[in-house]
A and B are shown apart, each in its own frame.
Chain A
Amino acid sequence: MRRYITRQLLQLVVVVFGISVLAFAILHVLGDPVLLLLPQNAGKEEFERYRHLLGLDRPLYVQYWKFVSRAVLGDFGKSWYADTPAFALVIERMPPTIYLTFAGLVVALLISLPLGILAALKRHSWLDTLCTAVAVAGQAAPLFWLGIMMIIVFSVRLRLLPASGYGTWQNFLMPAFCLGAALAPITMRLVRSGVIEVLNMEFIKTARAKGLAEPTVVIKHAFRNVCIPVVTVLGLQFGQLLGGAIITETVFAWPGVATLTVEAIRNQDFPVVQCAVILLALLIVAVNLVVDVIVGLIDPRIHAA
């Protein structure tokens, strides 16, 4: 187990390094911060002065080192727009994003677990066919459109739920359902195929042969084994889930990191963009690591490999 975690941690370091290079390169190689910072009619000397002031006339690796050594301490520079540290701005917006992601995950599981198991148990029935059809359609529906349709139906027409905002449980319903609905199809299909696979295994036949009741077989013997692929996939999907949360946030004006990032992009506020990108990526990496470890704990076969 220890070797397994060490190896994962090592890989994590490499991935984090890669992400920092990527985030640095996006601003410093693709674009020129000074060009973005100064008004277009600024003189040539002005540009040079700023370039020197910000240390942009030094070699890239020096700049990168400076960027990273500060970033490690949580210093991503001040926001060019709001005159507060970028890190503080992003951290402040982190909780809503995490709550939304978590709520979306819960909704996805509430939809996909029962439906996936039922579809697997009643294979080739009308329920199974219906679930598959809905899943195929659900995978194709663009998340942001789904969100807008929900707002039109539930906020504008029926006046049941608030279209945007944050704080009460009513505010949570639509965004969470929207995000959950996006993740549910793939999870449901995985649960379904997982359950089918497990039900065909020898130990299930043994359990049935022993004369155990069908619910006991399904819940105690099959379900636990289905958890392994489901947890793995949910972990790997976390990046996608967070990506979905970003889309959901912009639709419902949710005060999370994504809304902040889009605002920052509109204002060309790069320290904030950089900081948000890196922190979100770190979050994903951390979750992936935790999932790896959990899966390793549930299924000892995995790190034997």
Chain B
Amino acid sequence: MATTAPTKVELAGLGEARVEMPGGGQATLRRLLRLRWGLGAAGILLLIVAAAALAPWIAPHDPLAVNIRHRLAPPAWMDGGSAENVLGTDQVGRDLLSRMIYGGRVSLVAGVVAVLMSATIGVLLGLGAGYFSGRIDWTIMTLVNVMLTFPFVLLALAVIAVLGPSLVNMIIVLGVAGWPIYARTVRAETLAIREREFVLAGRALGMSHLRIVFRQIVPNLVSVIVVIATLQVAQVIVLESFLSFLGLGIQPPTPAWGNMLGEGRVYMLNSWWIATFPGLAIFLTTLVINLMGNALRDWLDPHLKL
């Protein structure tokens, strides 16, 4: 053991046998470093959220104000750009920066609400499957397999096709379709916790199943759920954007990063900025959420395999 370098970080991806090394110098250092990255990411995310929340006060223009005379104006630093529209304007002369600030509202709200929905469904089903096992377990896990076989995008497309495109429908689709990942992880963890002594003790004391599940098992799952949910917010934001990009999500003129990108695509021949900046916003948001999620995982539970 003494000769091998700390392997905890590397093994986290694949290994079955994970080596616990309390105070293993280099690994701890790397974890601390990642934590710092996570904190930085959380700071940026906070800024993005604040910008979206305070949009009416900080956006320089009305995101819906059309100004045909200034249509397709380039960003300020290019020829023909002006400080009036820092990131330029779109095809009907709306200020791109203002639309991006407002667009964050929809994306973030959709992401968080959908994740709360799918986490609730997934955790409940996962608890049921893991705690009761047997036929309930088999049914739920089969459902999980079916759902995981289906590409999420395809399912979302099919459902939106029937329900019709709108913000609410999209959130429902993303919320209802996203549960399997929680169910699978929660089930596996529950299976392990169920066998622990304190659960046995609870049974012996005559605790009800509900009480055991919610008072003894769930508290042990919080960190796992928080980590998955954080990472899922990023996934959902990307999917939401894609649906809106196709015109199947948030409908214009309401600004959302996805539908701005979709509109910008038509004009990419001459006006690259319309598609570029909303995409950058999605990219940056996803990136900081992922960094934060990874740091959170290291902090809460370095052994977590996700």
**A residues engaging B (CB < 8 A)?**
11, 14-15, 18-19, 22-23, 26-27, 30-31, 36, 123, 136-137, 139-145, 148-149, 151-152, 156, 189-190, 192-194, 196-197, 200, 229, 239-240, 242-243, 246-247, 250-251, 261-262, 264-266, 268, 270, 273-274, 277, 280-281, 284-285, 288
Is B248 in contact with A265, judged by CB distance below 8 angstroms? yes
CA distance A173 to B245 in the complex (A): 23
Tell me the chain B residues, 140-171 only, with Cβ under 8 Å from chain A: 142-143, 145-146, 148-155, 157-163
Q: Does B254 contact A (CB under 8 A)?
A: no
Interface majority SS on B: helix, strand, loop or mixed? Answer: helix
- Residue among B11, B161, B242 making CB contact with A268, cutoff 8 Å: B161
Which residue, A142, A149, A200, A264, has most C-beta atoms of chain B within 10 A?
A142
Q: Which 3 A-B pairs have the closest CB atoms?
A: A145-B279, A243-B151, A193-B13
Q: Does B83 contact A (CB under 8 A)?
A: no
Is A246 in contact with B154, judged by CB distance below 8 angstroms? yes
CA distance A132 to B264 in the complex (A): 31
- Residue among B14, B149, B153 making CB contact with A19, cutoff 8 Å: B149
Q: Does B23 contact A (CB under 8 A)?
A: no
Q: Give 20 CB contacts A-B under 8 Å.
A: A14-B142, A30-B159, A136-B291, A137-B287, A140-B286, A142-B282, A142-B283, A144-B242, A192-B13, A193-B11, A196-B10, A197-B14, A240-B151, A246-B153, A251-B265, A262-B157, A266-B247, A273-B158, A277-B154, A281-B150
- Residue among A15, A196, A246, A273 making CB contact with B149, cutoff 8 Å: A15
CA distance A152 to B11 in the complex (A): 40
Query: Inside 8 A of A285's CB, which chain B residues have their CB?
Result: 149
CA distance A240 to B151 in the complex (A): 6
Query: Inside 8 A of A31's CB, which chain B residues have their CB?
Result: 162-163
Chain A residue nearest in CB terms to B286: A140
CA distance A40 to B220 in the complex (A): 53
Query: Closest CB-CB distance, B37 to chain A, in whole Å?
Result: 9
Query: Closest CB-CB distance, A178 to chain B, in whole Å?
Result: 13
A239 with B148, Cβ < 8 A, contacts A30-B163, A140-B290, A156-B272 known: yes
Is B11 in contact with A30, judged by CB distance below 8 angstroms? no
- Residue among B13, B241, B283 making CB contact with A140, cutoff 8 Å: B283
Query: Inside 8 A of A281's CB, which chain B residues have their CB?
Result: 149-150, 154
Q: Does B106 contact A (CB under 8 A)?
A: no
CA distance A10 to B245 in the complex (A): 39
Is B151 in contact with A197, judged by CB distance below 8 angstroms? no
Is B151 in contact with A19, judged by CB distance below 8 angstroms? no
CA distance A301 to B148 in the complex (A): 25
Is A18 in contact with B282, judged by CB distance below 8 angstroms? no
A139 with B290, Cβ < 8 A, contacts A30-B159, A239-B151 known: yes
Q: Does B134 contact A (CB under 8 A)?
A: no
Query: Inside 8 A of A200's CB, which chain B residues have their CB?
Result: 4, 7
A148 with B150, Cβ < 8 A, contacts A197-B15, A265-B161 known: no
Query: Inside 8 A of A240's CB, which chain B residues have their CB?
Result: 151
Chain B residue nearest in CB terms to A233: B14
Query: Inside 8 A of B110's CB, which chain A residues have their CB?
Result: none
Q: Does B2 contact A (CB under 8 A)?
A: no
Tell me the chain B residues, 245-298 only, with Cβ under 8 Å from chain A: 245-248, 261, 264-265, 268-269, 272, 275-276, 279, 282-283, 286-287, 290-291
Q: Does B234 contact A (CB under 8 A)?
A: yes
CA distance A193 to B242 in the complex (A): 31
Q: Does B238 contact A (CB under 8 A)?
A: yes
Is B158 in contact with A142, judged by CB distance below 8 angstroms? no
Query: Inside 8 A of A142's CB, which chain B residues have their CB?
Result: 238, 241-242, 279, 282-283, 286
